[in-house]
Amino acid sequence: MTIGERVIHARISKREDARREYEQAREQGRSASLLEQQRPNVFQMNVANIMPGDEIKVELSYTELLVPVDKVYEFVYPTVVGPRYSNRSSENNTPFPAVDAEPVSSPGRGPDVHV
């Protein structure tokens, strides 16, 4: 994550340790970010103590082995996760599954993806 000229490099930690470090930095007023896996292939990032007018840039990178099928490589980079059904009951205690709310992008706005 880049805030102005300052670059913050991430490190992988156990979930509990990462959450504790993020909360501590947030409470101390330091800028911080936390990327957590919510379910397989679905991640959520939280940022803390970003000042008004600060320009931030968050970069995520990962590797993926691409295996051709019929001599064709395919790579799909999802940027938004639509609502998903959950096996939890809804808030009104009905036996029907609830729909998990997921963040969505603004209509007509594409992702800022660099490959």
Structure tokens at 19: 């959450």
Which 8-state DSSP code applies to residue 1?
A: -
The residue type found at 75 is: F
**Which residues does residue 61 pair with via DSSP β-bridges, in sequence order?**
none
Question: Maximum CA pair distance of the chain?
Answer: 54
**pLDDT attached to residue 88:** 57
Structure confidence by residue, pLDDT tens digits, 52-77: 888 888 887 778 889 999 999 998 77
Q: Which sequence spans correspond to the domains of the chain?
A: 2-100
Overall pTM surpassing 0.85 (yes/no) = no
